[in-house]
Amino acid sequence: MSGSSMLSRAEVRQLKSAVRREANPAAAERLLADSVRKGHDKLALHRYLALHRIDAARCAPYEDYCCQVAGRLPGESLRRVLRHAGWIG
């Protein structure tokens, strides 16, 4: 997993912008790593799915964690995350 310190709100905003505008895989991975580090499970899962769309190979270090999160979520919560991430209609 990349990076070791938690991101500030300003850094999160900048990285989210880079993901939206440029589909920047490094930015997406930093956001995912930060969410995992902070224990933001649903947000980490959402960011994992976003990174997977951009560069699936970079998801490997986070796969077990995100699969565990997905397995713990109630069905409707998981569907909401998948819908919000654009994986289902």
| Tens-digit pLDDT profile for residues 14-36 | 999 999 999 999 999 999 999 99
Nearest to 39 by CA among 19, 69, 8, 60: 69
Length of the chain measured in residues: 89
> Residue 85: how many CA atoms within 13 Å on its side-chain side?
20
Sign of the dihedral defined by the CA atoms of residues 36, 28, 11, 1, in that order: positive
Question: In the structure encoding, which two tokens stand for residue 39, read together?
Answer: 């224990």
pLDDT at 3: 53
Nearest to 43 by CA among 77, 76, 2: 77
Residue pointed to by tokens 């880079």: 18
pLDDT band at 5 (very low <50, low <70, confident <90, very high): confident
